[in-house]
Structure 1
Amino acid sequence: MADLSYPETGGTLAGALPVGYHHLAVERRLGGPERYDAAVTFVLGWGLHRGAGLRVPADLPRATEGDRVVLRLGVGRLALSIPVQVVGVLDEPDRGGFAYGTLRGHPECGEELVAVERRPDGTWLVIRAFSRPGRWFTRVVGPVGRAIQRLMTRRYLDAASRAVAQTGVR
């Protein structure tokens, strides 16, 4: 993991997020506990990212620790390359998902966790992240970068809601 662009590897899997970064923590209820398996399968299959409009390599069926992936946003030569590495996979009875960190060349510097939790009141999607600008252009645009992060997070939440609703499980 020497190519990660930040030192706090696994920070989204721990309790408190590291200082010196912008923090993001959102949750959305996806339905009852019976939707848990479908939601975990969707998340581990990079469904959030594909559903939010990112291009994920087709040969990547499931997130695995150590995977290095270049996500793409946009079209053609104008597409933004977003290199990441999976730094942890959650495979617990009531918690599944993965965390990925930024590699050199990513517009941001930090880590994001996308996880599904089965709770007494239902199935929840949890997104936790810490980040700061990682490239000159993300430093220049400042608050616009945060707005883009919030937009992508909403798109992740909406993609999960749509996908789990389409499973037919009530």
Structure 2
Amino acid sequence: MTRLISTGRTAFDPRYAHRAFNYAERNATEHRPLPAGYNHLHLRTRIGSGRAVFEAAGTAVTTFRAHRASGMLVRADHGAVRPGTRVVVGIGFGPLRISAPCQVVRTAYDPGRTGFAYGTLTGHPESGEESFMVIRDADDTVWFEVTAFSRPVAWYTRLAGPLIPVFQRGYARLLSRTLRRLAAAA
């Protein structure tokens, strides 16, 4: 029987506690160009304006509330992200749910930028990194930005081939809409 570590509304599965990163280019979502040999994703969406929207969106991102509200099952070893936080994202539904272990490699809790980036660990169906940032411009516009690079590792993601980037972009758009809704309600 697997013991789950309780962290408030989340529970982290300790089977993933000692997994290693399955890619070498850590923190590469912070810089451009993104590493060669991967599929790239960059999506920037306006989610509103003002300090209240920025703070609500930043909290929703850094506590995984936005991910959960978008339909993902998220289990983390900490409530709010910090470097080193281990996360298992459940992708799919019911018996078709795939566990995707990750580790937070970078956080931002700045006056104009809040968010995090996590990298994939062994056992993840992809290899790479994804960044989720809420950005407040000088004109008070609030943006949600997703930046990622990844490539298939598991047989089923290799088989899905060109569909995986389409699904990733679709999920980034869903996450943006969810975040806009959560921030507006705050």
Counterpart residue number, 1:145 = 164
Percent of paired sites with the same residue? 41
Distance 2:83 2:93 in 1: 28
Identify the range of structure 1 (10-19 vs 156-165) with the bigger mean alpha-carbon deviation.
10-19
Asked if the contact 2:76/2:87 (under 8 Å) is kept, the reply is: no
CA RMSD of aligned residues (A): 1.7
The reply to whether residue 7 of structure 1 matches residue 24 of structure 2 is: yes
**Is 1:110 matched up with 2:97?**
no
Using a 3 Å threshold, how does the CA distance of structure 1 residues 58 and 70 change in structure 2: closer, same or farther?
closer
- Matches of 2:49 and 2:25, distance apart in 1: 34
Would you say the 8 A contact 2:66–2:182 is kept in 1?
no
Task: Give the 3-state SS of the residue equivalent to 2:21 in structure 1.
Answer: coil
Q: Does 2:175 match 1:159?
A: no
Shift of 1:59: 6.3
Q: Per-residue deviation at 1:47?
A: 2.0
Aligned length: 167
Aligned to 1:23: 40
In 2, the alpha carbon distance for the partners of 1:6 and 1:59 equals 21
Asked whether the equivalents of residues 68 and 83 of structure 1 are also in contact (C-alpha less than 8 Å), the reply is yes
| TM-score where L is the length of structure 1 | 0.91
Quote the Cα distance in structure 2 between the aligned partners of 1:30 and 1:64.
Answer: 24
What is the TM-score normalised by the length of structure 2? 0.84
- Name the SS of the counterpart of 1:56 in structure 2: strand
Aligned to 1:120: 138
